[in-house]
Structure 1
Amino acid sequence: MVDPAAQDVLEQVAPEVLEPFSETGRYGRHPTFARITTPEKLLSALPYGAARTAALDAALAPIRVTPAASRARCARYDSEPPELPDTIERPSMLVFDKITGFRDAPSVDAAQAAFERMAQARGWGLFRTDNAAIFNPRDLRRFDVVVWNNVSGDALTIDQRAAFRSWIEQGGGFAAIHGSAGDPVYFWDWYIDTLIGARFLEHTGQPHFQAARVVIDDPESWIVRGIGPDWTMTEEWYSFKSNPRTAGAHVLATLDETTYDPISRRGEDLRMGDHPIAWTRCVKNGRSFYTAIGHRPESYVEPHSAILLERGIAWAMGIGDTHCRAGREKQGSARGKLDPQR
């Protein structure tokens, strides 16, 4: 909605959803909620949403995208990559935290502190940036895992997406935390459907943060081995539109839905039955790890969750007892195992 003509149409046809797209509205500044939703998504929550959406589509159809609107949209993207150190210890992690949508600063900062602790303890190299131009073949080759720290919103250009996807599929590693799969609308299907493997539905809202029981789903997995059969912690709990297990994910942990109230802010029933909360995926030769835990800063020092996060990142880095080949998880690892006592 960067085109003034489109903004005028929205104001005339559906003024009740205009605020997120307004430069003076609550979400108008960067980062902005407008980057992770659409008028159609907002209207869908209203009883007359379908009719209003049809009217809005008809009114917007004649409007052509102008060069000025294209330039305004492209201004959010990065074109000049950051300068990297001459030497980065290997294995190395690239922590990416470009956020154009929803940003919860305490979560992002607590996660970064956790990454720095584990990198120092394990001797891993670490480079942090919010500059998406680092997603190019030359710079990605210097890292073993890319960690998305609660990334929200449209962050990468088409070329940057292509470079990242190619790097992953050829054997790169990816780890994502909480909000990196928590946007209500995504504009890159491969990222959310293949790399993550599940689309966000909603999170708990009555109340927002709740204590719930996390259950280890595969106690033989190297990532969660020895953590214990379960633990209870307080979080903002995500539900997903589909079960990542049915899409081929290796589920590490699930939520016991009988231990909390899976109800959204609007009263929606968020129960999934089988409710994965952390999992891995093989994306051709690449490794993907996701944990939905991570909104509260306290989650990054909760002992069980901290182990899950560190080992998940290590596995994505290529450490552990399995690797990915042609979309399947295979036994053996080129890097060996993580010494838990180190």
Structure 2
Amino acid sequence: MNPVRTFLAAALALALAPSAQARAPLDCPLRDAPFSAASPLVDILLSKPATAAFEQAAPGMLAKLPPLMTGTAAPTFGAIVTPREALMFVGADTASVDRVDVALRKVAVTPADRTARCARYDAERTPYRLAPGKPAILLFEKMTGFRDTPSVLAAHAMVVDLAKARGWQVVSTDRAGLINAADLRRFRAVVWNNISGDVLTLTQRRAFRSWVENGGGYVGMHGSSGDPVSFWPWYADTLIGARFAGHPMNPQFQQARVLVDNPRSPMAKGLPASWSMTDEWYSFVASPRAVPGTHVVLALDEASYAPGTGFGRDLRMGDHPIAWTRAVGKGRMAYSAIGHRPEVYADPNNRRLIENALAWTMQLKDGEAAN
């Protein structure tokens, strides 16, 4: 065989083949899970047999769903709701949900289904450089569920500005490949910028959890705890310590009075006792105060706005935390539910809150907190 032709053929095959790094990894969390009414809706829609079973068990219901829920390319709302939530959204009764569940469980999971489920995960490493001796933050921005681009961009700019003013380094990525032990140990904190959807493989989950529990810092903003359904119990119940219940829809954005619940908290440093601002106000299924070790920083005065109902729930909490901290092993977490409207990332009180959260979660030593 002509050696030149052999070389060219091999080079072409290499160029056309996806790299090992770029291929979707196959240890995604729900790869082998049976189809059911508790599956991500997108996994049903990616399977023709599962979609057919759904439609046969609940005729016409899929057609009633809004386009926001029925997309199959990430990010899609279909990744953060299940058939159960989708059916309830269009007014189906529990009997319909049960029929769909029974029908879906009869559908076999194929290798093609596993590949489709894992395609929204990745192991791509964003290149970066860090200068020695300066604290570094990983700004994580991968989304497979809901993405509100204006708020993501505003939050990104805020974190970069705050870090620049304090002499901290920032590496931003919308890929999950840096969530590994070797890369994570180079960062003092990871900021989840309005992350929505399940974004980490099982390997990445283990690396992230171990890093946090061994001294890493987590800062979550708004949508990072705003999915109707979470498919990672440790993240929702242990790290965050509260599950999203909903937010007002009529009107969605309201002015409310924000109260500093614990003025001694490092996250409350420099904040006034209260202030008013307009945003989309989250409610949670249960107060994070119930989780041992939680320190509530901010709460809402429910008399100052109308929580109302949304997502099929009464959104009044009474005690209504919206920002809190907790030690997680040797690490620290700080979460704030403020942040749907881009304008709030220019609000001086919100900026101070997040700056304090970053400094506290990074466990800075003397001399590291400023230029």
TM-score of the pair, normalised by structure 1: 0.90
CA 116–235 in structure 1, closer or farther in 2 if over 3 Å, else same? same
The answer as to 2:296 corresponding to 1:242 is no
> Displacement of 1:87 after TM fit?
3.4
Between 1:252-261 and 1:219-228, the stretch displaced more is 219-228
What is the percent sequence identity of the aligned residues? 49
- Provide the rounded CA distance (Å) in 2 between the counterparts of 1:337 and 1:231: 30
The answer as to 2:308 corresponding to 1:260 is no
Paired position in structure 2 for 1:251? 296
1:69-218 residue pairs with structure 2 within 5 A?
69-85=113-129, 87=131, 90-218=134-262
Which amino acid in structure 2 is aligned with residue 107 of structure 1?
S
Which of 1 and 2 has greater Rg?
2
The answer as to 2:264 corresponding to 1:220 is yes
- Provide the rounded CA distance (Å) in 2 between the counterparts of 1:78 and 1:312: 28
What per-residue deviation string (whole Å, max 9, x for no partner) do you get for residues 283-325 of structure 1? 1111000000000111111111111111112111113xxxxxx
Contact 2:68 2:78 in 1 (8 A): no
> Displacement of 1:222 after TM fit?
2.1
Paired position in structure 2 for 1:327? none
Contact 1:89 1:124 in 2 (8 A): no
Contact 2:245 2:313 in 1 (8 A): no
Paired position in structure 2 for 1:301? 346
- Provide the rounded CA distance (Å) in 2 between the counterparts of 1:86 and 1:338: 17
Which amino acid in structure 2 is aligned with residue 287 of structure 1?
R
- Provide the rounded CA distance (Å) in 2 between the counterparts of 1:286 and 1:17: 45
Contact 2:279 2:339 in 1 (8 A): yes
Contact 2:298 2:322 in 1 (8 A): yes
- Provide the rounded CA distance (Å) in 2 between the counterparts of 1:6 and 1:286: 42
Any unmatched runs of 5+ in structure 2? Answer: 1-43
CA 65–233 in structure 1, closer or farther in 2 if over 3 Å, else same? same
- Provide the rounded CA distance (Å) in 2 between the counterparts of 1:232 and 1:74: 43
- Provide the rounded CA distance (Å) in 1 between the counterparts of 2:95 and 2:161: 52
Task: Provide the aligned length of Structure 1 versus Structure 2.
Answer: 326
Contact 1:23 1:29 in 2 (8 A): no
- Provide the rounded CA distance (Å) in 2 between the counterparts of 1:306 and 1:191: 24
- Provide the rounded CA distance (Å) in 2 between the counterparts of 1:9 and 1:335: 61
Which amino acid in structure 2 is aligned with residue 308 of structure 1?
L
- Provide the rounded CA distance (Å) in 2 between the counterparts of 1:282 and 1:19: 45
- Provide the rounded CA distance (Å) in 2 between the counterparts of 1:47 and 1:23: 17
Q: Which of 285, 298, 306 is the aligned partner of 2:330?
A: 285
The answer as to 2:104 corresponding to 1:64 is no
CA 202–89 in structure 1, closer or farther in 2 if over 3 Å, else same? farther
Which amino acid in structure 2 is aligned with residue 187 of structure 1?
F
Any unmatched runs of 5+ in structure 1? Answer: 320-333
Contact 1:152 1:183 in 2 (8 A): yes
CA 138–338 in structure 1, closer or farther in 2 if over 3 Å, else same? closer
Contact 2:53 2:103 in 1 (8 A): yes
TM-score of the pair, normalised by structure 2: 0.83
CA 246–83 in structure 1, closer or farther in 2 if over 3 Å, else same? same
- Provide the rounded CA distance (Å) in 1 between the counterparts of 2:340 and 2:366: 31
What per-residue deviation string (whole Å, max 9, x for no partner) do you get for residues 92-126 of structure 1? 10000001110000000000000110111000010
- Provide the rounded CA distance (Å) in 2 between the counterparts of 1:230 and 1:37: 35
Tell me the SS of whatever aligns to 2:234: helix
> Displacement of 1:205 after TM fit?
1.2
Contact 1:21 1:28 in 2 (8 A): no
> Displacement of 1:127 after TM fit?
0.1
Q: Which of 91, 97, 118 is the aligned partner of 1:53?
A: 97
- Provide the rounded CA distance (Å) in 1 between the counterparts of 2:251 and 2:262: 29
Which amino acid in structure 2 is aligned with residue 207 of structure 1?
P
The alignment yields a C-alpha RMSD, in angstroms, of 2.2
Between 1:219-228 and 1:79-88, the stretch displaced more is 79-88
> Displacement of 1:264 after TM fit?
3.2
